[in-house]
Amino acid sequence: MPSNKSVSDAPIVQFTNCRILRNHQLQREDLWVREGKILNPEKLFFEEKGSADIQLDCKDSIIAPGFIDVQINGGFGVDFSLATDDFKSGIDLVSQKILSHGVTSFCPTLVTSPPSLYYQVLPQISVRNGGAHGAGILGAHLEGPFISKEKKGAHPEHCLRTFEAGAFQDLLATYGSLDCVRIVTLAPEMKRSSEVIRELTKRGICVSLGHSVANLSQAEEAVQHGATFITHLFNAMLPFHHRDPGIVGLLTSDKIPAGRRVFYGMISDGIHTNPAALRIAHRAHPKGMVLVTDAIAGMGLAPGRHTLGQQVVEIDGLNTYIAGTKTLSGSVATMDTCVRHFQEATGKSSSSWSPAPLSQLQLLRFSDSCFLSLLFCADFLMLNDDLYVQATYIAGEEVWRQDALGM
């Protein structure tokens, strides 16, 4: 039976012999794609009377959502917090390289920097769709400089800023423009932060709480004003305490506004967060977990000295430190490595997938429904049972395949 050309002249592609991630479980069924969208097979069969124009054998692969990395500082020698003459070619390089690690969209992340850096770099970041050229760019993640001196981590202290009388105008003066900005990380205990959170939220920018000494009450107030994310949970914040759990307490808070969900990033690299902490967070609030790499320029390169914005960092195995210290400064883990480590840490097999890879979609408001919902953009991966990426698809088109490398 031919496809229904009265609906669309575009070919229908049927992915067969695959196991699809649906409702966090793998189900053996086919995937149907047309014009970069995943089709509802019932509507296709019964309303359109359509069938496949092309069939592709997935060879028993797992089909799962493409990964979205909302905190990545660079990689492969490229530092997003450095202004260079070839910045655009650098961001193009990273977007192309991360396809092999299953990342189909990302937020280039800038750590705390002087205003002059934001003025130079932000105009060179453009939101764009992904494709064979590389992963899609969702907008910048600005991590600082409105963060706590006490929990600055690897951020340079001399660049930290506070909100003065102008509050939101201070933020605009620092960044220069918010046109390409998708996420802003700030410390909610700062004076006048509430009005900044409200203004950012009005503009559709995700506000994340991090690098902070906020108590739970301050964190809850920030969420009530519109904050929806926590930057690398457990790292660069007050440790959990039973009398005041701080920002960590948002995972089980009863003060979250109705209909609102708090998401939280976790660096699942085996260095930043103990497996027990991963399990605690996941069991407390599984639907809010968002895996991030927090990768730096040294990701994909040999150990040695690299940069993270204004700082020199040293890579020693899987550890990255500010040079001459033992202060952790980002990660060199790739996203697929983080996913595998998380699955291992939580004791899950490939047949019972964690919701963590799905939360990125909801955090940035692409969809409140699960992957494979009607007309959802067809950004997906083919994985083997050990969760290694076999192929990456964006808008239904293959953009990377392991076989193409002769592996």
Is residue 145 within 8 A of residue 155, CB to CB? The reply is yes
Which of the residues are catalytic? 294
Q: Find where tokens 């049972």 sit.
A: 385
Say whether 143 counts as a known binding-site residue.
yes
Number of residues that this document lists for the chain? 407
Say whether 154 counts as a known binding-site residue.
yes
> How confident is residue 353, by pLDDT bands cut at 50, 70 and 90?
low
What does the alpha-carbon distance between residue 82 and residue 306 come to, in Å, rounded to a whole number? Answer: 12
The identity of residue 281, as a single letter, is A
Q: What integer pLDDT is reported at residue 357 of this predicted model?
A: 52
Is residue 368 within 8 A of residue 362, CB to CB? The reply is yes
Say whether 272 counts as a known binding-site residue.
yes
CB-based burial, 248-264: b 16+ in 10 Å, e otherwise: bbbbebeebeeeeebbb
Say whether 211 counts as a known binding-site residue.
yes
DSSP state of 342: H
Please check the confidence at residue 355 and state whether its pLDDT lies above 70: no
Of residues 367 and 10, which shows the higher confidence score? 10
> How confident is residue 407, by pLDDT bands cut at 50, 70 and 90?
very low
Per-position DSSP letters for 179-219, written without gaps between them: TTEEEEEE-TTSTTHHHHHHHHHHTTPEEEE-SB---HHHH
Please check the confidence at residue 65 and state whether its pLDDT lies above 60: yes
What does the alpha-carbon distance between residue 288 and residue 194 come to, in Å, rounded to a whole number? Answer: 22
Is residue 71 within 8 A of residue 330, CB to CB? The reply is no
Say whether 233 counts as a known binding-site residue.
no
Condensed to tens digits (0 to 9), the pLDDT of residues 240-298 reads 999 999 999 999 999 999 999 999 999 999 999 999 999 999 999 998 999 999 999 99
> Where does 227-355 have alpha helices with state H?
275-284, 335-345
Share of the chain above pLDDT 70, in %: 88
Say whether 81 counts as a known binding-site residue.
no
Q: Which of 23-27, 60-64, 304-308, 392-396 has the lowest mean pLDDT?
A: 23-27
What does the alpha-carbon distance between residue 126 and residue 141 come to, in Å, rounded to a whole number? Answer: 12
Condensed to tens digits (0 to 9), the pLDDT of residues 82-101 reads 999 999 999 999 999 999 99
Please check the confidence at residue 130 and state whether its pLDDT lies above 90: yes
Residues 6+ apart with CB under 8 A from 86: none
Q: What integer pLDDT is reported at residue 360 of this predicted model?
A: 62
Q: Return the SS3 of 98.
A: helix
Say whether 141 counts as a known binding-site residue.
no
CB-based burial, 192-204: b 16+ in 10 Å, e otherwise: bbbebbebbeeee
Q: What integer pLDDT is reported at residue 52 of this predicted model?
A: 85
CA-nearest of 24, 21, 19, 22 to 287 is 24
Please check the confidence at residue 358 and state whether its pLDDT lies above 60: no
Is residue 96 within 8 A of residue 104, CB to CB? The reply is no
Say whether 328 counts as a known binding-site residue.
yes
Q: What integer pLDDT is reported at residue 399 of this predicted model?
A: 98
Condensed to tens digits (0 to 9), the pLDDT of residues 244-260 reads 999 999 999 999 999 99
Q: E strand or H helix at 42, and its extent?
A: helix 41-46
Greatest Cα-to-Cα distance within the chain, rounded to the nearest angstrom: 68
The domains of the chain are located at 13-64+384-401, 66-373
Residues 6+ apart with CB under 8 A from 244: 215, 216
Say whether 242 counts as a known binding-site residue.
no
Condensed to tens digits (0 to 9), the pLDDT of residues 164-197 reads 888 999 999 999 999 999 999 999 999 999 999 9
Please check the confidence at residue 106 and state whether its pLDDT lies above 90: yes
Q: E-strand spans in 115-173?
A: 136-137, 140-143
Q: Which CATH architecture best describes the domain 66-373?
A: Alpha-Beta Barrel (3.20)
Say whether 319 counts as a known binding-site residue.
no
Condensed to tens digits (0 to 9), the pLDDT of residues 22-62 reads 776 788 999 999 999 888 877 777 676 678 899 999 999 99
> How confident is residue 5, by pLDDT bands cut at 50, 70 and 90?
very low
Say whether 48 counts as a known binding-site residue.
no
Please check the confidence at residue 368 and state whether its pLDDT lies above 50: no
Q: Which two tokens stand for residue 133?
A: 């050229």
Q: E strand or H helix at 358, and its extent?
A: helix 356-363
Per 3-state DSSP, what percentage of the chain is helix, strand, and coil (rounded to 5)? 25, 30, 45
The identity of residue 87, as a single letter, is F
Share of the chain above pLDDT 90, in %: 77
CA-nearest of 130, 75, 133, 86 to 108 is 75
**For the chain, what is the mean pLDDT?**
90
Please check the confidence at residue 351 and state whether its pLDDT lies above 90: no
The residue-averaged pLDDT of 339-364 equals 70
The residue-averaged pLDDT of 296-305 equals 94
Condensed to tens digits (0 to 9), the pLDDT of residues 202-244 reads 999 999 999 999 999 999 999 999 999 999 999 999 999 999 9
The residue-averaged pLDDT of 147-154 equals 97
Q: What integer pLDDT is reported at residue 121 of this predicted model?
A: 98
Q: What integer pLDDT is reported at residue 369 of this predicted model?
A: 34
What does the alpha-carbon distance between residue 259 and residue 96 come to, in Å, rounded to a whole number? Answer: 37
R_g over Cα of the chain: 21
Q: What integer pLDDT is reported at residue 189 of this predicted model?
A: 98
Q: What is the CATH number of domain 13-64+384-401?
A: 2.30.40.10
